[in-house]
């Protein structure tokens, strides 16, 4: 059951589903930003996320927590690193969308929870178990199949999954509220992003002044970054971990649908890769449900 003061299960589930739906359909939004380059969009994401998050921090009355983080050098240093890491993840995601590689994005976010399992086993010494072993093994076979039959290592998928796994690991080690952590992360990259963006937008390479629609879409990159995270926080606080773990498959499933809808190549070899990954995720789900059952008895 959710803790006192947390969202009701229905509200939490609705928020979690909304967050994963936004993440899953976000490639459509970033395809609308095809007039700008991936680097320019990432800079706008960083810049416009700050005022959006500042409003959230103000409404939550969390400024004291922000000041506390800014006065703790070790925590601040980790958030600087995680901010750079997530900015790189953002760039790779947008680059993949703009180059019609959403299928690899989907594959990466399917692999991500299985990478988290591997980190949990290796770093946090969590129990292994046959279901978890099968999940990781099937995912590895899927990647090997991609190399042998498709003829290429899914670098974007592995880089997205790997960078987000490292990011999640860092954030797991920092006792900071999700909203405060994201605000500080974006705050530390805000000034350099704003400086670089000012040079880009005052040159022929910039697109912010191309017209009101272009400016609006670039500004919306900030709220599009913040909104799903805030919804996720509401959901995660009111739902069991196993429930959140299962719901997270909604985002890559929607990304997969977007890729197919936009006509990206999907061969029998790709289907086999995804089949292995999906089988691994099925084992992962069984593992979570079994652990949940044991904990509730």
Here the tokens at position 60 are: 């939550």
CA–CA dist 95, 84 (Å, integer): 16
Residue 52 within any structural domain of the chain: yes
Instruction: Judge contact between 170 and 76, C-beta under 8 A.
Output: no
CA–CA dist 179, 181 (Å, integer): 5
Residue 168 within any structural domain of the chain: yes
State mean pLDDT over 140-164: 89
Residue 192 within any structural domain of the chain: yes
Instruction: Judge contact between 27 and 94, C-beta under 8 A.
Output: no
Instruction: Judge contact between 244 and 11, C-beta under 8 A.
Output: no
Residue 3 within any structural domain of the chain: no
Range of the domain at 173: 9-296
User: Quick check: 242 pLDDT over 70?
Assistant: no
What local confidence, expressed as pLDDT, does residue 150 receive?
79
Residue among 48, 24, 7, 4 nearest 197 (CA)? 48
The model's pLDDT over 45-92, given as tens digits with 9 standing for 90+, comes to 999 999 999 999 999 899 999 999 999 999 999 999 999 998 999 999
Residue 271 within any structural domain of the chain: yes
Residue 257 binned pLDDT confidence (cut-offs 50, 70, 90): very high
CA–CA dist 146, 278 (Å, integer): 14
Tell me the pTM: 0.86
Residue 4 within any structural domain of the chain: no
Number of domains in the chain: 1
Residue 140 within any structural domain of the chain: yes
The model's pLDDT over 104-121, given as tens digits with 9 standing for 90+, comes to 999 999 988 888 777 777
Residue 201 within any structural domain of the chain: yes
């Amino acid at each position: 059951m959710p803790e006192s003061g947390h969202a009701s299960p229905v509200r939490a589930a609705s928020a979690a589903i909304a967050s994963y739906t936004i993440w899953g359909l976000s490639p459509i939004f970033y395809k609308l930003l095809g007039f700008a380059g991936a680097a320019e969009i990432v800079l706008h994401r960083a810049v416009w996320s700050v005022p959006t998050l500042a409003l959230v921090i103000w409404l939550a009355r969390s400024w004291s927590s922000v000041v506390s983080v800014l006065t703790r050098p070790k925590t601040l240093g980790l958030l600087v690193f995680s901010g750079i890491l997530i900015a790189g993840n953002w760039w790779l995601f947008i680059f993949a969308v703009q180059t019609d590689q959403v299928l690899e994005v989907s594959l990466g976010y399917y692999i991500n929870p299985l990478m988290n399992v591997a980190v949990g086993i290796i770093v946090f010494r969590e129990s292994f178990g046959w279901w978890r072993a099968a999940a990781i093994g099937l995912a590895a076979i899927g990647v090997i199949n991609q190399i042998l039959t498709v003829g290429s290592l899914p670098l974007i998928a592995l880089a997205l999954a790997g960078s987000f796994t490292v990011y999640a690991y860092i954030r797991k080690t920092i006792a900071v509220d999700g909203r405060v952590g994201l605000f500080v992360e974006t705050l530390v990259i805000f000034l350099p992003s704003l400086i670089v963006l000012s040079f880009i937008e005052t040159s022929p390479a910039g697109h912010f002044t191309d017209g009101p629609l272009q400016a609006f879409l670039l500004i919306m990159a900030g709220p599009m970054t913040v909104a799903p995270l805030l919804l996720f926080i509401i959901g995660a606080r009111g739902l069991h971990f196993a429930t959140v773990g299962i719901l997270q498959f909604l985002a890559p499933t929607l990304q997969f649908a977007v890729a197919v809808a936009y006509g990206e190549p999907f061969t029998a070899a790709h289907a086999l890769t995804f089949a292995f990954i999906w089988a691994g995720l099925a084992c992962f789900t069984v593992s979570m449900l079994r652990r949940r059952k044991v904990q509730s008895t």
